[in-house]
Amino acid sequence: MIISVASGKGGTGKTLVATSLALSLKDNHKVMLLDCDVEEPNAHVFLKPAITGSEAVHIPVPRVDEAKCTRCGKCAEICAYNAIAVIGEHVLTFSQLCHGCGACSYLCPEKAISEEPREMGLVEWGQADGLNFAHGKLTVGEAMAPPIIKQVKQKADNGGTVIIDIPPGTSCPVVEAVKGSDFCLLVTEPTPFGLNDLALAVETMRELNIPCGIVLNRAGVGDDKVEEYCRKENLPILLTIPLDTGIARLYSKGIPLVEGMPEWKDSFRELFNKIKGTSR
């Protein structure tokens, strides 16, 4: 089973929920946690895994053979991302705009375009006290997270429960990370910003046809508009976590909730059982 932990906005507590769920299940289930928030991965801060392997992530970018090129402009015409341009007698390539689709090299009538790999990030994997783990790191200055996310997801262990820490928001990295999931936990907070971005996330999951449920974090602050929205949209609130300085203090020290407050383990195991019941 693949469970994604997502949110419409950053700072709602996705990593708190993802790491707590994984640690609560690892004694009785084969569990792997994938941190696909590759622009700012932080699950490793809480799990402290022993990294046993790593590999670079590359994307194929065009290389133009000036001797063969006739400057016909076909490559620039078909590039949807404006990563290649023909200006007079010169062909300019913009590798950081390239999505590696290969259309320019495939359709070049003179076969003047080849592809060369360009490194854009890193995937690491290992173990944390019996919990399998993998995460990606996008190189600073790079704009595209999906290629890193794809490679992180290739490390998923299909024989057990996979928990994916999803990037915040509802853009391309979120769609890439969440697709293929059996269920998505949407973590939100009872504030106007939390409600606005939750509604966007719910719409995204429905578009992708992925069943979802809600984790309400920092309950006790704000208002009850999120709960009203969930009732109206028939969205189950599967877990409520109160606004608690003790929880915040643990998080600030990099201590997982279920290790600092072991009584929460039963709540996260119950959450998993609700997910199994809801996703059937």
Domains, the chain: 2-37+155-279 (3.40.50.300), 66-111 (3.30.70.20)
Q: What is the pLDDT along the chain (280 residues), one digit of tens a residue?
A: 999 999 988 889 999 999 999 999 998 889 999 999 999 999 999 999 999 999 999 999 999 999 999 999 999 999 999 999 999 999 999 998 999 999 999 999 999 999 999 999 999 999 998 899 999 999 999 989 999 999 999 999 877 999 999 999 999 999 999 999 999 999 999 999 999 999 999 999 999 999 999 999 999 887 899 999 999 999 999 999 999 999 999 999 999 999 999 999 999 999 999 998 875 5
**For the chain, what's the residue count?**
280
- Rounded Cα distance, 30 and 32, in Å: 7
In the chain, what's the furthest Cα-to-Cα distance?
A: 70
| 50-64/113-128 β-pairing | antiparallel
